Structure 1
Amino acid sequence: MEQEIKLFTREELKSRNTREDAILIIHNGVYDVTKFLEEHPGGEEVLLERAGQDGTDPFEDVSHSSDARSLMQQYKIGELVEADRTQNKTAFPQQWSNDTPRELGNAWSSWVVPLALALAATLLYRYLFA
């Protein structure tokens, strides 16, 4: 038998923003992060700052790992009602993973810039102390 998903409105969640009752909305899912506040690597303040509200954009801005995305599933208590859902096309979907291979352009720049700086420092050192 399938478990029924509990639905919430934004209005009923907006007052759930305290240390004793902290709720976040991320990608239209509703998460009770009260027990996670002290464990959050970024500190409880960042969670409490968005408690009772939609935290999708800040969540994606930090680029949480696939492990963090898996961990958050244990805190999910429901979803937003259809009328309150957002279609955030700029955020990555929940299945996104920062463990995906980088594009070739990014791979080049990740070692070319430090190499160029090291070469410039070497030449400057030889010029000044020759």
Structure 2
Amino acid sequence: MSAPDPGAWLLSRIDAREAALTGEAEQTRSLINDLTARLRELDEALDHLRITRKTLLSLADEPDATTAAPPAELPGHPVYQQILAIFADVAQPMRARDLCLALDLPIVAKNIENVRSKLKRLVSKGVLVESEPGLFAQPRP
């Protein structure tokens, strides 16, 4: 009987190991290709988000022509200028009666109603706001 050839046995082990490593290398290459494709998709999604952010920020920085209302035209009577000057000085909400006092008008119903009417007109033009019934103030920016 002849003894098994140690060289053949060693070569068969090397062949088996080579086949196993070749299969593992092919699986790894396939996995790398899949991961590379996924990485490309993620990079593209990130690029889209960056573009969206940049676009939104640039739109936020632009003045909006539709919401920027032209300055309201005030009625021509000088009392309107006096009323606005008082609101600018006081910088707090006021009632028609308080405004009569500030304008040095006698506190009578006729004067209070006239001032209230003027205040309501300024509210309708967007120059003043009525925060609660009878309480008028300049709008906050």
TM-score (norm 1): 0.24
Larger Cα-atom Rg: 2
Higher strand share: 1
Structure showing greater relative contact order (alpha-carbon pairs closer than 8 Å, 6 or more residues apart): 1
Higher helix share: 2
